[in-house]
Amino acid sequence: MNSTWDKQTRLEGAKEVLLQAMEKFKGVPNIEIALRIYGHQTPITNNTQDCNDTKLEVPFSSGNIDQIKNKIRGLIAKGATPIARSLEAAAGDFPDTTSRNVIILITDGLESCDNNPCVIAKKLREKGVKVTPFVIGLGMDLSYLENFACIGSYSDAEDKGSFSSVLTTIIEKILTKTTVQVNLNDILKKPTETNVTLFLYEAGTLNLKYSYTHTLNRYNNPDTLVIDPAFKYDLVVNTLPKIEKKGISLVRNSHNIIQVDAPQGFLKCSGTNPISIRVMEKGNYETINVQSINTQDKYLVGFYDLEILTLPRTYQRVEITQSKTTLIAIKAAGSLELKSVKYLVGQVFVDKGNGLFEWVFNLDEKLMSSKYLLQPGNYKLIYRQKDQKSTGYTQEKKFKIESTKKILLNL
């Protein structure tokens, strides 16, 4: 704790943050605080360390915030890091095992004595001691911090600012006591889907209360949110298409789990020309996304109708499956160049076979030269000169478009 941290020692920085944090507990009903410190009484030497150097400096009480702050101000780091013994002793510090008991363990080092904190944590759970330990590692490498996973929820604090943020979040969780977990379930009903925006509105209104990017924590579980239980909520999960759950009630002072079926897969369209793809749910003509060529987007599992904005339009129905990528390959277009000595009116049609022709585009009456990218196929151009006033002057030209090839029509 005597190492340098933001131009001061870790201990001095941590003391500043803790003194500010203690103010959050003032005036909060039905809460009692205690302070246990380790490694502060006996100096460590080259030959010895005092593994019993852990002490309940301020017992649990509802009016002891100033007493705790005074102890923090005078704290000096001297000795060992007996985390296991301190954790075991701290569990015995609680006067009432039926209450919601919380330990916040703050350390910048690992266990330095002979006991294993994981073994102690397991013994406490087996004895039915209801403690919820939070661990904050000050300036520790995450690979070392992983050693605390067996104790409880842990966070890393690389500097004083992050320590303040982490500690504030933990205190808010403790004081609010109402937490929420949003499970975005895959096709097997497992909460593996993530990385999508969640909107929580006050139910029945457009009053947006919370916006979150859904996250899986380091254990691959949906992260815990602290939410005000005084409201009912409408949840919008911004998948493609979006999912809505309305009128959600939270149970106060409890951990609430909101289950949402959101199995997803991927759609990727590949091609050589800069086009877009309009994506619609099967049988529904409302556009849910316009996806660019050679990009990949995520969609709910199911069937979708695609309008590929080629000339002529290409239509396709695809199925999106769980965690798989559906790949659509779009044929490379060919190039058509039209030239004329006079202005023309006319239309281009694609030959669908059996005498059926489908409109593709109209000629621009103000141009005598134009270029188009067309999908491979057989086409027919029906036209006449713009200044000719008789239908009898109508002409037609048939032509074939092949991928990546160019043709020129002189009209």
In tens, the pLDDT along 228-275 reads 888 999 999 999 999 999 999 998 778 899 999 999 999 999 998 889
- What is the strand order of the sheet 369-374 is part of? 369-374, 334-339, 406-410
**Domain 264-329 maps to which CATH number in 2.40.10.10, 2.170.150.20, 2.60.40.1120, 1.10.10.10?**
2.60.40.1120
Residue 277 contacts residue 269 (beta carbons within 8 Å): yes
Confidence at residue 94, expressed as pLDDT on a 0 to 100 scale: 86
Confidence at residue 131, expressed as pLDDT on a 0 to 100 scale: 59
Spell out the domain ranges in the chain. 4-176, 179-261, 264-329, 334-410
The segments of the chain whose pLDDT lies below 70 read: 1-6, 97-98, 109-111, 115, 126-134, 136, 138-149, 152, 176-177
Confidence at residue 87, expressed as pLDDT on a 0 to 100 scale: 83
Task: With CA atoms as reference, report the closest residue to 152 among 128, 117, 107, 126.
Answer: 117
Task: With CA atoms as reference, report the closest residue to 73 among 58, 91, 51, 87.
Answer: 58
Confidence at residue 132, expressed as pLDDT on a 0 to 100 scale: 60
| pLDDT digit string, tens, across residues 308-365 | 999 999 999 999 999 999 999 999 999 999 999 999 999 999 999 999 999 999 999 9
Question: Domain 4-176 - what CATH class?
Answer: alpha beta
Distances (CA, A) of 207 to 211, 241, 363: 11, 22, 50
| DSSP symbol at 191 | S
Same fold, 179-261 and 264-329: yes
Question: Domain 334-410 - what CATH class?
Answer: mainly beta
> What SS3 state is found at 300?
strand
Distances (CA, A) of 269 to 142, 197, 276: 39, 24, 9
Tokens of 293: 């060529």
Query: Cis ω on the peptide bond leading into residue 312 (within 30° of 0)?
Result: yes
Question: Domain 179-261 - what CATH class?
Answer: mainly beta
Place of tokens 């789990």: 257
Residue 311 contacts residue 339 (beta carbons within 8 Å): no
Query: Cis ω on the peptide bond leading into residue 241 (within 30° of 0)?
Result: yes
Confidence at residue 176, expressed as pLDDT on a 0 to 100 scale: 66
Residue 276 contacts residue 245 (beta carbons within 8 Å): no
